[in-house]
Every structure is written in structure tokens, then in C-alpha cells.
Amino acid sequence: MAANASDVAMQPAQPALFQFYNWFVGVHGYASVVVCIFGVFTNIFNITILTRRDMRTPTNILLTWLAVSDILTMAPYIPFAIHFYCPPADAQGNPDKFTYNWIMYMLFLINITATTHTISNWLGVSLAVFRFVQMRSTSRGPLAKERRIRQVKGITLAVNVLSSVVLIPNYLTNEIQWQALDNNTIVYGIKDLNLATNQTKTIVLFNVINYAVTAKLVPCLLMIVFSGSLVYTLSVKNRERRRRLSASGKKSKKDSRQATTTRMLLVVIILFLITEFPQGILILLSATMPGFYANVYTLLGDLMDFIALLNNAINFVLYCIMSQQFRARFLEMYLRRAVLHKPLEESGTTSERLCLKEPPTKTTLAD
């Protein structure tokens, strides 16, 4: 969460970075509200479509809970952005906005977004790991599919519980403090952690580093490892598929669908890496490098918040671009065009139809 404008204005900074902060803080609130409203509605679309009976797959369960996490990130941010950023407020010029109740809400938002980002990052790891294992597995059929669904539900529960438990010390780090202005008006704010100074408490340093490592850097590194493995496995499978097609002269629709699904998940994971990995590095530098928090991190805080919100909102667009079946289900459920009331099998060729749907075996659908 970015610092308030009044706090940043008192701190030395690189002129170009400070100028960027002064410009972006003016547009951050309005842009964030638009992105959040769009993201909340589109993630509701994601949930309603991905939980349809005919879309029930292990991968879609993970994507559904990712959408839930994104909603829990964006929905609380809307009133925060409107109150503090539309237009931008500071404690000196707008003391009425820095009441105890609103700072309590800010503290709640800091904790809930830390939790939801941690959950989303580890769900991203789960997507990469699960897809990698799935592509190398030879198990097919309804029993294998149900077993994978049970495994995914257990993984999702573990990610939600463990992410909340690991961050309990982090919840206790931030505190509310009050300040009396020149006119004796009392304003409230989040207590400065004094990162990378002689005043930094050991528990604070531990909690910040723990958050940077466990919530950002480690999951991002795991996503890099398994994404690379996915790319390698996909390239191997593509070579094998081309050899089979060359030998038989037939088209392999199943392999093509699997490749489409894997590519889509890779794009989701890459967006995670672009958003979260730089944040993890900046948080780590803030905890260890004197002056970095005041001169760099606080000035980039609004931009990092906005990029994270944009990543939360963009999955719906990605699914629509890459999945013909997702597009068809969305149009059928929400636009109700008569031409789209035909069964899915009549709405396009089989080779166009998969992204989120699991590839079929000869007799049933499986992972």
C-alpha cells in the first residue's frame, strides 16, 4: 500500500521519480475504481461460467478460486480509492478523511490484500505444478478426473488456510497512531515501520522479509521453474504430435486442445510473474537498504497497486481471447443471442472448441 501524499512530500527523492509520483497519484484513484468495478463484474462472470457442470474440471476449480481471491482484492479497494484518491487527500489538507475509522479500514485493506495476493500467488504455483503433472500423467477416465478434483480441492483449502496462518505475524506488525495538527485537529495514520534504520524492530524486519520471501519471491521462483518445465514438455509433445501427424496424415484434436490450455495457463502465470516478482524484490530492498523505502518504494506504491489490480481484472479478457468455449458460454449465459442457443457441438468445429474444457478420451472427459 502506498504512503500518503503528505508523507512522501516530506522525503527526498530522485526528481524524475517524484514527478512521476505526483502525476500518477492524481489519476491512480479514478483508474483504480474503473479497473476494480470492471474486475469485480468480470470475475463474477468467470466464477459463474467456470462452475457450470459441464465446465467442472480440476484446472477450472483452481481458476474459480483465483477469481474469488481477485474479487476479495478489488471490492474493498473501491471505497478506499474513492475516499483517499478521488481526489488525492493528505492529512494536512484533508484531516476529515484521516479519521480513526477510515484508518482502521486502511489497516483492514492492507491485511486483506496481503492475504489475497499470497493466496493468488500460491494458486498460480498450484496451476503450474498441476498442469505439469497432468501433462506427464498417463491416467485418463472419470475415476482419474474425480481423483484430481479431490486433490485440487485439498490443495485449494491448504493454500487458503496456510496463507492466512503464515501472515498472522504480519497482521500484528502494522499499528495505528494519532497526530495532532497545528490547529489541534487529531488525525490518524499507519505507524511508520522505520525500515532499514537503527529503529527497525527485529520482529518488524522478520515479518517484512518473511512476507517478501514466502508471499512473493518463493512462489514466483516456483512458477518460473514449473513454467519452464511446461514449455519444455509442450515443445516435446508438439514434436511428437508433428511426427505422428506426418506418419498418419491425420489431425490430432486432443493434443491441439491440450496445447491451447497449457498456453493459456502459461500466460496467466507470466502475468503473475510480471506483477509480483518486482514487488517482492522492492519489498526486500526496502527492508535491507537504508533510504530505499522512503525514496523509491513509497513513490512506486500506487503504480504497483494499480498493476496488481489490473492483473486481477484481466483474466476474463484472456479467457475470452483464448477459449472459444468460454466465449460461447459467456454469450449464451449473459447475452442470450438466439443463434448461440444451439448446442455447443453445433457452434464451431471441434478443433476450435477447447481452452478450459478438459480433453476427451474415447468414452468420457478427463484431465
CA–CA distance, 115 with 165 (Å, rounded to integer): 9
All three cell numbers of 198, joined, read: 537503527
> DSSP label at 179?
E
The verdict on residue 362 lying in a domain is no
pLDDT of residue 229: 86
Question: Could you list the residue range(s) of the whole structural domain that residue 215 is in?
Answer: 5-352
Average pLDDT over residues 329-351: 58
Within a domain: 358: no
Region 248-257: mean pLDDT is 55
* Structure confidence at residue 142 as a pLDDT band (50, 70, 90): confident
Q: pLDDT digits over 79-106, tens only? A: 999 999 999 999 889 999 999 999 999 9
pTM of the model as a whole: 0.83
Residue 359 lies in a domain: no
In a domain, 137, yes or no: yes
Please state the rounded mean pLDDT for residues 250-274: 75
Cis bond upstream, residue 87 (ω within 30): yes
State the cell numbers at 297: 518504494
Is residue 30 scored above 50 in pLDDT?
A: yes
Give the CA angle between residues 320, 306, 96 to the nearest 5°: 135
Write out the DSSP string of 270-303. Answer: HHHHHHHHHHHHHHHHHHHSTTHIIIIIHHHHHH
- Residue 135 belongs to some domain of the structure: yes
Say how many domains are in the chain. Answer: 1
pLDDT tier at 298, thresholds 50, 70, 90: very high
The residue whose grid cell reads 492466512 is 164
Give the separation between CA 14 and CA 2, rounded to whole angstroms.
Answer: 17
Cis peptide before 88 (omega within 30 of 0): no
Residue 351 reports pLDDT greater than 70? no
Q: Which secondary-structure segment (H or E) carries 218? A: helix 218-248
The answer to whether position 361 is within a domain reads no
Task: Work out the end-to-end distance of the chain between its first and last CA atoms, rounded to an integer number of angstroms.
Answer: 39
Q: Is residue 329 part of a domain?
A: yes
Residue whose entry in the numeric block shows the C-alpha cell 485493506: 109
pLDDT in tens, 151-208: 999 999 999 999 999 999 889 888 999 999 888 899 999 999 889 998 889 999 999 9
| CA–CA dist 15, 324 (Å, integer) | 48
Tens of pLDDT, residue by residue over 44-62, are 999 999 999 888 888 899 9
Stretch 140-148: mean pLDDT, rounded? Answer: 81
Q: How confident is the model at residue 131 (pLDDT cuts 50, 70, 90)?
A: confident
Strands (E), 155-249: 176-180, 186-190
CATH number at residue 69: 1.20.1070.10
Q: Lowest-confidence range among 102-116, 163-177, 351-365?
A: 351-365
